[in-house]
């Protein structure tokens, strides 16, 4: 609830509105599909490479690279993400 908005709704400059817009944008929808595919594969759903669009596959690759980078940054002795 935003105190600046009428009727206790969101104000025009609310960060949640920006998040909603990003999630509903073309890149946001692609990211959601890539995340859903990743979860399905981890759950053991069989999906052939032919069933995955190239943009979804690229997004999945980027997600994995970013997750690996994040995991490396969290290792003990790694100060501020530097190796």
Asked, for residue 38, whether it belongs to a domain, the answer is yes
Burial per residue of 50-59, b for 16 or more beta-carbon CB atoms within 10 angstroms, e otherwise: eebeeebeeb
Asked, for residue 31, whether it belongs to a domain, the answer is yes
Asked, for residue 1, whether it belongs to a domain, the answer is no
Asked, for residue 72, whether it belongs to a domain, the answer is yes
What's this model's pTM, rounded to 2 decimal places? 0.68
Show the tokens assigned to 46: 């069989």
Domain count, the chain: 1
pLDDT of res. 10: 75
Question: CB–CB of 30/56 below 8 Å?
Answer: yes
Helices (H) and strands (E) in the chain, counts: 3, 0
Question: CB–CB of 54/62 below 8 Å?
Answer: no
pLDDT, one tens digit per residue, over 2-39 is: 666 667 677 777 788 888 889 999 999 999 999 999 99
> Residue 17: which domain range?
6-81
Average pLDDT over every residue of 41-52:
94
pLDDT, mean over the chain: 86
Question: CB–CB of 59/30 below 8 Å?
Answer: yes
pLDDT of res. 44: 96
Asked, for residue 25, whether it belongs to a domain, the answer is yes
């Amino acid at each position: 609830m935003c105190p600046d908005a009428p009727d206790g709704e969101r104000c025009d400059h609310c960060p949640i509105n920006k998040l909603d817009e990003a999630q509903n944008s073309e890149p946001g929808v692609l990211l959601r599909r890539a995340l859903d595919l990743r979860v399905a594969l981890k759950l053991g759903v069989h999906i052939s490479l032919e069933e995955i669009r190239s943009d979804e596959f690229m997004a999945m690759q980027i997600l994995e690279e970013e997750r690996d980078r994040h995991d490396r940054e969290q290792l003990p002795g790694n100060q501020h993400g530097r190796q």
